[in-house]
């Protein structure tokens, strides 16, 4: 196994994907046959976490403006305002919508997520789960395609609903939100998963430096004093 993984070609993500597949298979086989799992003794290939692709605020505005129906606007608002997953949108009902929060049931279990008054206003008049033009509940693929159409109209060639989840998380941090409340909102079990949104690119670092540089603060205080 170590030799096979060591000689694999491709990116770090490719080698790590092979490792995960082998680990799942051999753990299943070991449990079935009552044997020790050989993969437990093998260290996973190195995988450096890179900040995910996110939309800038001007791009988000274009995507929201690309919604041709109130339903699509409600769908985009839910994704960008709450950061919930597409599957959680798919199963959302009005019974789960409260005054200031919604209750979603995702891959990490049930959790309560804050929702803004504006998003609730856009949702009013829509049936939940969201419906097609024929009045039938949209499938998960139907929701995905609705988001993709809005992204394409806005000139965003890559990504889908998860791109809005990533964009919500990044903007939440940039707007002053803390990583601990973000972890709870996103439903991450591991804080390390949430911390990837803290890694800013240089443009963000420069913008933050302009806001919080102690020297700039001193000079501005002197100029106004």
pLDDT for 26 equals 93
pTM of whole model > 0.85? no
CB 75 within 8 A of CB 225: no
Give burial (CB, 10 Å; 0-12/13-18/19+) of 101.
Answer: middle
Quote the CA–CA distance of 93 and 89 in Å, as a whole number: 9
| pLDDT score for 195 | 86
CB–CB of 123/97 below 8 Å?
yes
Taken in order 26, 27, 32, 34, the sign of the CA dihedral is positive
Q: Tens digits of per-residue pLDDT, 110-148?
A: 999 999 999 999 999 899 999 999 999 999 999 999 999
- At 201 the pLDDT is 63
The pLDDT value given to residue 225:
64
The per-residue pLDDT for 199 is: 75
Return d(Cα 73, Cα 12) in angstroms, integer.
37
Low-confidence ranges of the chain (pLDDT < 50): none
Q: What is the dihedral of CA 9, 11, 15, 20, to 10 degrees?
A: -160
Residue 93: predicted pLDDT: 96
- What are the phi and psi torsion angles at 91 (to 5°)? -100, 5
């Amino acid at each position: 196994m170590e030799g096979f993984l060591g000689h694999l070609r491709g990116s770090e993500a490719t080698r790590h994907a092979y490792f995960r597949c082998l680990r799942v298979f051999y753990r299943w086989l070991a449990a079935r046959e009552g044997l020790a799992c050989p993969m437990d003794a093998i260290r996973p290939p190195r995988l450096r976490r890179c900040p995910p692709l996110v939309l800038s605020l001007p791009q988000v505005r274009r995507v929201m403006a690309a919604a041709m129906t109130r339903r699509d606007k409600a769908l985009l608002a839910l994704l960008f305002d709450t950061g919930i997953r597409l599957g959680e949108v798919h199963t959302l009902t009005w019974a789960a919508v409260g005054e200031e929060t919604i209750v979603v049931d995702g891959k990490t279990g049930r959790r309560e997520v804050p929702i803004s008054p504006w998003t609730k206003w856009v949702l009013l008049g829509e049936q939940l789960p969201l419906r097609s033009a024929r009045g039938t509940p949209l499938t998960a693929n139907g929701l995905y395609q609705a988001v993709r159409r809005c992204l394409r109209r806005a000139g965003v060639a890559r990504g889908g609903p998860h791109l809005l989840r990533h964009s919500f998380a990044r903007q939440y941090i940039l707007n002053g939100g803390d990583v601990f409340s973000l972890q709870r909102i996103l439903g991450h079990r591991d804080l390390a998963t949430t911390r990837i949104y803290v890694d800013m690119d240089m443009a963000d670092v420069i913008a933050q430096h302009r806001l919080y540089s102690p020297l700039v603060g001193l000079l501005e205080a002197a100029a106004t004093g």
